[in-house]
Amino acid sequence: MEKVILFDMDGVLVNTEPLHYKLWTQVFAEQGVDLDFEVYKGCIGANGKRLMELVWEHMGLDFRGDPALPRRYYELKSDYLRHGDIPRIEGVNETLAELQRRGYRMAVASSATQEYIELCTDRTDIAPYFDVRFSAERVKNTKPAPDVFLAAAERMNARPEECVVVEDSTNGTLAARAAGMRCIGFANPDSPGQCLDAAEQTVYPFCRLLDVLK
């Protein structure tokens, strides 16, 4: 039985995916570019580098290697997080408390930066539930590569077969499968356009995790 749970963060623990798209839309609008969601959705669960690749592939616009756009994005996001409320997923705090009571050890394994992971989990009062908060910026390859999950599991002193991943994105579920871990998809309606077929099963709302993690 798995006793280690690796949670993605954006779209799973905090409901920030709509915010990310809004901010990236603003960044590209400042460059005179209309960022269509059909292009953007492929980077959900990954990172800004993947978004630049998608913009090149689908729109023929090359911002790869240009630090200005990611810098502007993080500037906007940092300003928002300092002054705005972090959108929450209903039932997260109560569900994490119950999973901890059942003896699960938990970690965050996210494509977000370490600073952002710590800020979000601290401000939503869920940081104490996690033994490890781990960013993909510390590994070579982002999701859908398995690197972030394998590295987080190593820091939890757990084998892949002992871990279950909770993910809301196509990239994340594929990464969990590549890592050899069981995956539960969180069918967040605010993370649209995601194929969760790589997950063993999907749940919604968040509290339904308690039904599948006995």
- How would DSSP label each residue in the chain? ---EEEE--BTTTB--HHHHHHHHHHHHHTTT----HHHHGGGTTS-HHHHHHHHHHHH----TT-SHHHHHHHHHHHHHHHHSPPPBPTTHHHHHHHHHHTT-EEEEEESS-HHHHHHHHHHTT-GGG-SEEEEGGGSSS-TTSSHHHHHHHHHTT--GGGEEEEE-SHHHHHHHHHTT-EEEEE--TTSTT---TTSSEEESSGGGHHHH--
Domain boundaries, the chain: 4-15+87-212, 17-83
Q: How confident is the model at residue 16 (pLDDT cuts 50, 70, 90)?
A: confident
Which residues, in sequence order, are bridge partners of residue 5? 106, 164
Q: Indicate the pLDDT class of residue 1, thresholds 50, 70 and 90.
A: low
Bridge partners of 107?
6, 132
Q: Give the mean pLDDT of 125-151.
A: 96
What is the Rg, in whole angstroms, of the alpha carbon atoms belonging to the chain?
17
Q: Rounded mean pLDDT of 124-137? A: 97
As a whole-number percent, the residues of the chain with pLDDT over 70 amount to 99
Predicted local confidence at residue 48, as pLDDT: 86
Partnered with residue 135 across adjacent β-strands are 110
Listed range (43-57, 145-159, 170-184, 200-214) with the worst mean pLDDT: 43-57
Q: 68-108 pLDDT, tens per residue?
A: 999 999 899 888 877 778 889 999 999 999 999 999 999 99
Q: Over pLDDT 90: what percentage of the chain?
A: 78
Calculate the alpha carbon distances from 131 to 6, 96, 153 in Å: 10, 12, 11
- Catalytic site includes residue 34: no
Active site residue 190: no
What is the assigned CATH class of domain 4-15+87-212? alpha beta
Question: How much is the pTM?
Answer: 0.85
Q: CB-based burial of residue 140 (10 Å sphere; 0-12 exposed, 13-18 middle, 19+ buried)?
A: exposed
Give 45: exposed, middle or buried? Use CB within 10 Å, 0-12, 13-18, 19+: buried
Q: Please tell me the number of Cα atoms within 13 Å of 208 on its side-chain side.
A: 13
